[in-house]
């Protein structure tokens, strides 16, 4: 793993409980080092397996706020990972980003139900997200 990513993950771990401050600077450094195009896949490909998925999800969440497109490409990539449902690590990351995946709750429910069926360890997380979105939608006016 390159030093830019390593520094970003160290800072994220240190700041997680108190809110990210310096992590935003490190996220911009990651963007500068790797480039914005395909950043989600680049981060996953460059990160060793021993880095917890939550660190990666937090970095991608910060990158959503740091990039030019407000995270649209990162969210499209996460949705692609969920639809392909082949790489469990990418699935864990996609399921722990801040925003709900997919434009509609119906599409999210269909895709996450398939993920839950093919990846039993993710079943609880998938159904929790489906229920949360349903609950959030019920409270909208």
Mean pLDDT score, 17-28:
90
Q: How confident is the model over 26-81, as pLDDT tens digits? A: 999 999 998 888 999 999 999 999 999 999 999 999 998 877 788 899 999 999 99
Between CA 56 and CA 69 the distance in angstroms is: 19
Taking the alpha carbons of 32, 54, 45, 105 in that order, is the dihedral positive or negative? negative
């Amino acid at each position: 793993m390159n030093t830019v990513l390593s520094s970003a993950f160290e800072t994220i771990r240190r700041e997680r409980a108190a809110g990210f401050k310096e992590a935003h600077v490190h996220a911009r450094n990651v963007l500068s080092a790797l480039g914005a195009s395909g950043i989600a896949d680049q981060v996953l490909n460059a990160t060793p397996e021993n880095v917890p998925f939550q660190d990666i999800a937090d970095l991608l969440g910060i990158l959503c706020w740091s990039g030019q497109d407000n995270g649209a490409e990162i969210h499209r990539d996460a949705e692609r990972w969920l639809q392909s449902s082949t790489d469990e690590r990418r699935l864990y990351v996609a399921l722990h980003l801040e925003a709900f995946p997919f434009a509609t709750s119906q599409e999210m429910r269909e895709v996450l139900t398939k993920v839950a069926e093919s990846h039993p360890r993710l079943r609880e997380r998938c159904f929790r997200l489906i229920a949360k979105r349903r609950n959030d939608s019920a409270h909208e006016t």
